[in-house]
Structure 1
């Protein structure tokens, strides 16, 4: 059993001061420090002093691409005139050559970056043309087994790859379900998936929720209308792929009719504002999604590992989009953050995202010495303006294990980074 003492607690709902927490894999007890003196200390193996810190639940990245690790510093001819050009000139070149060992290395490096940014669970959308079969288990080994985090993984089925292997990989990995990991059914995007592939996916996948990019760019919608005479969402509906708990990433260019369809099908939309701005594809219409009661979660589309940047950029970009400082408020952001915890809770069958007894002990301790008064009424303002902008947790705990101890990652990493640099050299040579 472990304890964190002398800390402020905040879990995106409740705030406590001068408190302690006892935990192993789950939270066992929470109380005020006045009560801690009566606790029998002989059963506590580790006590962490949380003075001048705020204890929070570990964060969740609701849509990412681990394989993007190997794009860092990559130099390829790049002169895109459309989003499709970005895929052709960059991402489809990179993911087309990755093999199974590249997948493991990218996951270890990305997972370490997640830990440093307080992310203890990630929902990944994977692609690797060099190897398909077995790659999701490699991601699980790196993220869940070696680093001790939680992950939901899938392989993005696309006509660019061997379709049968894509389907087999998704179905095979979906059988690996526990409190640490689970498999969704990955699909890339409408514009890289034919009708015959969609039909095959529906016939074989069973009730596994899909995870797919939807209308990230206008290219995706135009492609669907030109080839099939219908929008992206209509295609997915007509192929009966909009199952409960499916994740549709982006949805930047859906229309009112498509939003109504999504609102009637119990799906989640993963917003990725920083990536949308970086790719210049536009921004999601959050008000449209909100009007149709479509639950949103938040990811970063593989653009780094700092999910708190997404919280900030989503807020600022929505205010800018709607030209009003009142257009998107703290209540909107808190709803999206809590939706992300709810989604993972449902998929992994755990209680996550609260500092309360019986919830999993996925915790982050963030140093913060407030310059002004702090209270239950203004705590999220302190979190948003004082912590998210300079996010640097000192302790990260997942499944009750300390994975970062006073800024030190527990897993030895020196050889991993050397191996990753050597792998990147080989990958880039293939591309050039």
Structure 2
């Protein structure tokens, strides 16, 4: 493997603060570190490089962040089509989770992370199982990952709260390229004690919390049936309604809930392709941005999207 790489005469697009930078330059890399972004006429640097990539027809951009994904199960990509979310979960996804093994998850992580790298993703917030396996894969492949393990004490096929807490405690700092945050599938998949455990572990280890919310109206109704209140009130009760919370989808919040999210510093992953495939609806992103909510893009998983291409989301 080449240790010194030069990308010659590439068109670079980046930001320094709020300033957009666009110009032709060369990029020099040693190992896994960019050592120089400089002039295109430094021939001595090119001659000392193990590999020189001609960049005149290429654009160099910063690595992209996939703010919401599931590494798997990749085996059901394309098998569960033309279904709404609740039906899709019940008939295909949850049964697959029940039989998932660590070996299965390793293959899922490998396939998904390689596909993400191909579309320019260098960091992913991944809601999946067996995070220690995912961290090993990320270190081997070379992608940065933050894994929030699916947690539930209501349904089978998810990490139990005590297991998830151990993962958070062990991997809350980056272990190479991977770390673990707190996470769960849905509020209605967790008992009160489960949410208390997740909130406590996140707070004690200074880490974020990731989950789905406001994805469909029936899932909002499930939260109301389970807790007697709407989602943001549940998050507030368990001390999660703050800037450490990243919610995926957020298709159906009310205007007042959007205001509360903005005031609380909650971030949102917008997943337009997944929302279309599962007929979840159209998220009010324009209003979120107007209110100052931090919004990023996510692919969701291959079973929800059929692709892991962040450019497609744009």
Shorter-chain TM-score category? Answer: 0.7 to 0.9
Which residue does the alignment assign to 1:94?
96
Distance 2:97 2:167 in 1: 17
SS at match of 1:11: strand
Task: Name structure 2 gaps, 5 residues minimum.
Answer: none
Whether the 8 Å contact between 1:67 and 1:95 is mirrored in structure 2 is no
SS at match of 1:244: coil
- 1:40: how far off? 4.5
5 Å-filtered alignment, 1:242-391, equals 242-302=241-301, 303=305, 304-311=307-314
- 1:41: how far off? 4.5
Whether the 8 Å contact between 2:9 and 2:54 is mirrored in structure 1 is yes
- 1:16: how far off? 0.7
Distance 2:58 2:145 in 1: 27
- 1:255: how far off? 1.1
Which residue does the alignment assign to 2:144?
150
Number of residues of Structure 1 aligned to a counterpart in Structure 2: 297
Shift of the 88–2 alpha-carbon distance from structure 1 to 2, 3 Å rule, reads: same
Whether the 8 Å contact between 1:275 and 1:300 is mirrored in structure 2 is yes
Whether the 8 Å contact between 1:154 and 1:170 is mirrored in structure 2 is no
Distance 1:227 1:94 in 2: 25
Shift of the 101–284 alpha-carbon distance from structure 1 to 2, 3 Å rule, reads: same
SS at match of 1:95: helix
Which residue does the alignment assign to 1:44?
49
Whether the 8 Å contact between 1:191 and 1:223 is mirrored in structure 2 is yes
Shift of the 232–126 alpha-carbon distance from structure 1 to 2, 3 Å rule, reads: same
Which residue does the alignment assign to 1:203?
200
Please say if 1:160 is aligned against 2:167: no
Shift of the 10–145 alpha-carbon distance from structure 1 to 2, 3 Å rule, reads: same
Distance 1:171 1:187 in 2: 13
Name whichever of 157-166 and 92-101 sits farther off.
157-166
Shift of the 79–44 alpha-carbon distance from structure 1 to 2, 3 Å rule, reads: closer
Distance 1:98 1:301 in 2: 19
Task: Name structure 1 gaps, 5 residues minimum.
Answer: 128-134, 312-432
Distance 2:151 2:283 in 1: 24
Whether the 8 Å contact between 1:61 and 1:121 is mirrored in structure 2 is yes
Which residue does the alignment assign to 2:123?
121
- 1:287: how far off? 2.4
- 1:117: how far off? 2.0
- 1:42: how far off? 5.3
SS at match of 2:149: coil
Compute the TM-score of the two structures, normalised by the length of structure 2. Answer: 0.86
Bigger fraction of residues in strand = 2
Shift of the 245–201 alpha-carbon distance from structure 1 to 2, 3 Å rule, reads: closer
Match of 1:140 among 129, 135, 153: 135
SS at match of 1:242: coil
Higher relative contact order (CA 8 A, sep 6+): 1
Which residue does the alignment assign to 1:225?
224
Whether the 8 Å contact between 1:9 and 1:15 is mirrored in structure 2 is yes
- 1:256: how far off? 1.9
RMSD of Structure 2 on Structure 1 (CA) = 2.2
